[in-house]
Structures are given as structure tokens and as C-alpha cells.
């Protein structure tokens, strides 16, 4: 698998030199990073946002008839029945007492639906989050895998920024970027305040549009909309102590930094270096519609990816309660 921009010899280490890192902040054995900011006070802050009893689930459907939005290079899931009524009709299965049941198996990318990335999912210079050796990824992640995030869970006050709505569009354009200034301007227009340690959800309309567009057009010259790298943006995430970034795109950021040509620099600047948890391919359209209608853009967010030993990520169906 090889994705390249047109620039010459891009270098992530050079791009991120001098930017903040949270390595060691939560001890030498930490594997959940900025999720440590979600202490009991943050959970209660989230609970205090529940005012209406409305609930939302944010996962995309595995096996949707129109397909699955996937980062280039990944393949759709394959779900197969290994036992169903057909087996009983063909006399290939029988259980005492006329009991029957259906069983199935699934083969899929762990980053194939709405998912949490393990903090060690992406790296450079042979070091993962907290300085763990990239050799620890071989044959299954023994450091900074998805398991510690799954064991911990993610709960706190969260805010949705609807960047597409703010720009008067149903969906942002291919490669359309935005930064923290845009997030703050949108928040202000929505009448909500982004507070330190808030879980941040950003809607671009991108994943929702996958189900409306022809696949050929969707993937042509692939570069999704999203956060665009800048040193100030990374500093802002650090100062705001954002624990978790959730978007309705596949990578949470535009695929290439326009100036340096480095691919997905924020994965390294935010996830590897600051320990910010990344949640991608979320479905935010219904939630955004509701927030626009009732004016409540802050809520309780709760999610726990599947507990997969050694996994580089895991599917999740996050819940929002307003």
C-alpha cells in the first residue's frame, strides 16, 4: 500500500520538530494518553448536559447495502452465515427438542467501520505513543493497542461543531480544510462554548455523502475534508487538553499537508505525540440535525471500542445523550 503526494521528500519528524508531546505525563506505562483527562469531574460535567433524554448512536452500518466507506487500500467486510434455516432444511444440522439457531462470522478491517484507533496505530522514527518501540507492533500490538482504551471506556462532556452547516454546505469539498479558528467561529455561531477537556466532534457531511454519491466519484483523487495541519492547531489541542477527536471522515484530517506533502500529519502530532484518541467514520448527520433544531450542541458522550487483544483499533458504536 502506498499513498503519495506530489511533494519531494516530505519528512514528518522535521514537520513536527519542537511541537509539544505528552510522553511520560501519565507515567512510563500509559497506553490511553489524553483520555486520562476524562476524570470523574469530566464524567459529571457530561452528565450535567443531559436535559432532554434524547439518545443517538453514531456508528455506520457494517454491511450497508450501498457499501462501506473505507480509507483507500482497505476492503469491505465479509459476513457469512455458517448456520441458518438452510442447514436445517438440508438436514445438515439438528438440535434436540426442535431448537434451531443462526450463526455467522465476519472478516473485516478493525478500522473498517466507525472505530477507535489504538494510540500506537500510527508512528514515525520507530517510536509509538509514549516512546514505545515500533517493534512492539509486530504480530499484534503489545504496547498502546486498542485494548487499554477498550478496558477504560470514554465518557465525558462533548461538543459537536457542524463545520458543513457553518459554511452553508451539505458537505465540505474534497480536501477542504479548517482549523481551530474555524472551529471556534462555528462554535460561537452555534452558541456553544468549547471548554478544556471537552470531547470534540466535528461534522463535515463527508461520510453521510458516501451513501448518496457514486463510489467512483467519491474516491476519485481521494482527499477528504478535515482538519488541516498547522503548528498553532497542535498547540491549541495541547492547551485545550482535548481527549478525543471524533469526525465523520475516514482520517479526521485532510490526507496531505499542503506545504510539506507529509501524509496524515495530525495522526502523529495529536495521536502519537499528545495521546489524543481518534474516532473516525462516525455518522453525525442525525445528531447535527437535532442539535440545529433544539440549539443544544453539548451532551454526554459515551463509547467503548471492542476489547481486541493486540488490535490496532476496534469498531465502536458511540452513544450521545442530550
Angstrom CA distances, 296 to 100, 157, 322, stand at: 47, 12, 8
Beta-bridge mates of residue 302: 155, 319
- Residues in contact with ligand UVW, counted by CB under 6 A, come to a total of 10
Residue in this structure with the C-alpha cell 469491505, named with its chain if needed: 76
* Pattern 260-289, ligand UVW, x by CB under 6 A: ----x--x----------x-x---------
At closest approach, how far in Å is the CB of 124 from ligand UVW?
13
Residue 33 or 46: the one with the smaller Cβ distance to ligand UVW is 33
Residue 300 or 314: the one with the smaller Cβ distance to ligand UVW is 314
At closest approach, how far in Å is the CB of 177 from ligand UVW?
16
- Total residues found in the chain within this entry: 322
Residue 56 or 71: the one with the smaller Cβ distance to ligand UVW is 71
**Closest by CA position to 282, among listed 305, 309, 308:** 305
253 binds ligand UVW (CB under 6 A): no
Residue pair 138/294 in contact (Cβ under 8 Å)? The answer is no
Sequence-distant (6+) residues with CB within 8 A of 64 are 211
Using the rule CB under 6 A, which residue among 186, 192, 251, 291 binds ligand UVW? 251
Residue pair 306/316 in contact (Cβ under 8 Å)? The answer is yes
Residue 68 or 117: the one with the smaller Cβ distance to ligand UVW is 117
State which of positions 119-138 bind ligand UVW (CB under 6 A): 121
**Closest by CA position to 172, among listed 184, 161, 181, 163:** 163
* Pattern 73-112, ligand UVW, x by CB under 6 A: --------------------------------------x-
Using the rule CB under 6 A, which residue among 117, 224, 248, 257 binds ligand UVW? 117
Q: With the C-alpha atoms ordered 29, 33, 35, 36, is the resulting torsion angle positive or negative?
A: positive
Residue 71 or 229: the one with the smaller Cβ distance to ligand UVW is 71
Residue pair 244/277 in contact (Cβ under 8 Å)? The answer is yes
Using the rule CB under 6 A, which residue among 23, 71, 178, 301 binds ligand UVW? 71
* Pattern 10-49, ligand UVW, x by CB under 6 A: ----------------------------------------
Cell of residue 317, nine digits: 458504536
**Closest by CA position to 213, among listed 224, 226, 227:** 224
**Closest by CA position to 300, among listed 320, 279, 278:** 320
Cell of residue 88, nine digits: 436445517
Burial of 261: CB neighbours in 10 Å, binned 0-12, 13-18, 19+: middle
Residue 111 or 145: the one with the smaller Cβ distance to ligand UVW is 111
At closest approach, how far in Å is the CB of 281 from ligand UVW?
8
Residue 32 or 49: the one with the smaller Cβ distance to ligand UVW is 32
Residues making contact with ligand UVW (CB under 6 A)? 71, 111, 117, 121, 250-251, 264, 267, 278, 280
Amino acid at each position: 500500500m502506498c499513498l503519495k503526494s506530489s511533494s519531494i521528500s516530505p519528512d514528518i519528524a522535521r514537520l513536527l520538530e519542537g511541537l509539544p508531546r505528552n510522553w511520560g505525563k501519565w507515567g512510563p506505562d500509559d497506553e490511553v494518553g489524553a483520555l486520562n483527562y476524562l476524570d470523574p469531574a469530566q464524567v459529571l460535567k457530561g452528565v450535567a448536559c443531559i436535559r432532554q433524554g434524547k439518545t443517538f448512536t453514531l456508528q455506520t452500518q457494517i454491511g450497508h447495502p450501498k457499501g462501506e466507506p473505507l480509507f483507500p487500500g482497505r476492503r469491505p467486510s465479509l459476513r457469512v452465515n455458517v448456520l441458518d434455516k438452510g442447514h436445517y432444511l438440508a438436514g445438515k444440522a439438528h438440535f434436540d427438542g426442535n431448537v434451531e439457531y443462526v450463526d455467522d462470522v465476519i472478516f473485516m478491517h478493525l478500522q473498517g467501520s466507525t472505530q477507535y484507533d489504538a494510540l500506537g496505530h500510527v508512528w514515525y522514527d520507530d517510536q509509538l505513543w509514549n516512546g514505545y518501540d515500533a517493534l512492539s507492533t509486530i504480530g499484534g500490538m503489545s504496547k498502546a493497542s486498542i485494548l487499554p482504551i477498550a478496558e477504560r471506556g470514554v465518557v465525558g462532556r462533548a461538543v459537536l461543531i457542524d463545520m458543513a452547516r457553518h459554511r452553508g454546505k451539505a458537505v465540505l469539498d474534497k480536501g477542504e480544510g479548517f482549523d481551530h479558528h474555524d472551529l471556534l467561529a462555528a462554535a460561537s455561531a452555534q452558541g456553544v462554548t468549547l471548554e478544556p477537556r471537552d470531547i470534540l466532534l466535528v461534522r463535515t457531511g463527508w461520510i453521510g455523502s458516501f451513501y448518496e454519491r457514486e463510489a467512483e466519484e467519491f474516491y476519485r483523487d481521494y482527499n477528504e475534508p478535515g482538519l488541516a495541519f498547522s503548528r498553532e492547531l497542535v498547540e491549541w489541542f495541547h492547551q485545550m487538553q482535548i481527549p478525543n477527536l471524533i469526525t465523520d471522515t475516514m482520517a479526521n484530517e485532510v490526507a496531505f499537508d499542503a506545504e510539506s506533502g507529509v501524509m496524515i500529519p495530525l495522526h502523529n502530532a495529536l495521536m502519537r505525540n499528545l495521546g489524543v484518541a481518534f474516532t473516525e467514520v462516525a455518522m453525525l448527520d442525525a445528531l447535527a440535525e437535532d442539535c440545529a433544531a433544539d440549539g443544544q450542541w453539548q451532551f454526554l458522550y459515551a463509547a467503548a471500542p471492542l476489547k481486541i487483544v493486540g488490535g490496532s483499533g476496534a469498531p465502536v458504536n458511540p452513544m450521545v445523550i442530550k
